[in-house]
Amino acid sequence: MKVSSQLNVAGNTPRTLSPLPREAGCRHAFTLLELLTVMAIIGVLAGLVVGLAPLAAGRMREARLRSELASLVTSIENYKARFGVYPPDNYDSAAGTNDTALTPLYYELSGVIVSKSPTIKGTEDGGFFLTVDDGQRLEPAWVESTFRREGFVNGATQEQRRRLFRHSFKVGQHAQIYRTTTAADYKPIEILTVGFAGDATGRRNDGFAWPLNDPVQPVPTNPGLNPWHYVSSNPTNNPGTFDLWAEIKVKGKSRIFGNWKQ
């Protein structure tokens, strides 16, 4: 006997079941457990962001420091190509010492103008003095006593100003320091810095200032100031060229950023 394909085992005609109709306006609501879970996830993510923010900021500052290092290295090499020598440092041949922080690097890379004034004619400087863009006046005798040099390589008269080799520095890349705190020698000296808490002009920098509570300051007369260090007369890491580096302190630990393999 032939069984129709339209019948099931029991011989009944199959029926198509339709889904139950959804109630109009029915919405799924969050349970208290689900809300607490979402809030916990948001809290964890917020904690991660807050915890990583200082690390990210520190890396950005380090990247900027490396960028400034590379820019200075390029400028010093261009100076060498222009004058045939690297900018001088502050080496005392008699004592065999080198003040790596107090160097004429700022003046050599910026350039100075040699001028003559009748108001100081007949002085030990022969009436000549040097000036920089901010109007600072530098007598040759003072330059010699400060940097152990009679003058600067990168200098020119006002008429030959265009012949100067120029590197422009931002406000936060240099600061004024003093050799001593005595009134007789209270003359500002411009040097390159990676950070400072403040200087005589009241300028502030968000770079790597030296910790004020550190008992050993790179520049004792200017606590908080952190200079670039430079050696060209007897470099130990790059013989025949120059050493340029900065030392920073992060959570009490020192780190060196220099123009040599580390």
Residue 59 in any domain: the answer is no
Please check whether residue 246 is in contact with residue 208, taking contact to mean a CB–CB distance below 8 angstroms: yes
Q: How many domains does the chain have?
A: 1
Predicted confidence (pLDDT) per residue in 209-249, tens digit: 898 888 999 988 888 899 999 999 999 999 999 999 999 98
pTM of full prediction above 0.75: no
Residues 6+ apart with CB under 8 A from 87: 76, 79, 103, 104, 105, 108, 109, 153, 154, 230, 232, 242
The span from the CA of 212 to the CA of 205, in Å, is 14
What is the per-residue pLDDT for 157?
85
Task: Name the pLDDT band for 187 (thresholds 50, 70, 90).
Answer: confident
Asked which of 42-46, 52-56, 140-144, 200-204 is least confident by mean pLDDT, the reply is 200-204
Continuous segment of H or E residues that includes residue 73: helix 32-83
74-82: long-range pairs with CB below 8 Å, 24+? 75/109, 75/167, 76/109, 76/242, 76/244, 78/165, 79/108, 79/109, 79/154, 79/165, 82/165
Residue 171 inside a domain? The answer is: yes
**pLDDT band at 14; cut points 50, 70, 90:** low
d(CA 87, CA 106): 10
Within-domain flag for 57 = no
**Inside any domain, residue 10:** no
Residue 1 located in a structural domain: no
- Asked if the structure places residue 244 within a domain, the reply is yes
Task: Identify the residue with better confidence: 118 or 212.
Answer: 212
Whether residue 186 is contained in a domain is answered as yes
Mind listing the pLDDT tens digit for each residue in 168-179?
888 789 988 877
Query: Domain range for residue 171?
Result: 65-107+167-258
243 inside domain: yes
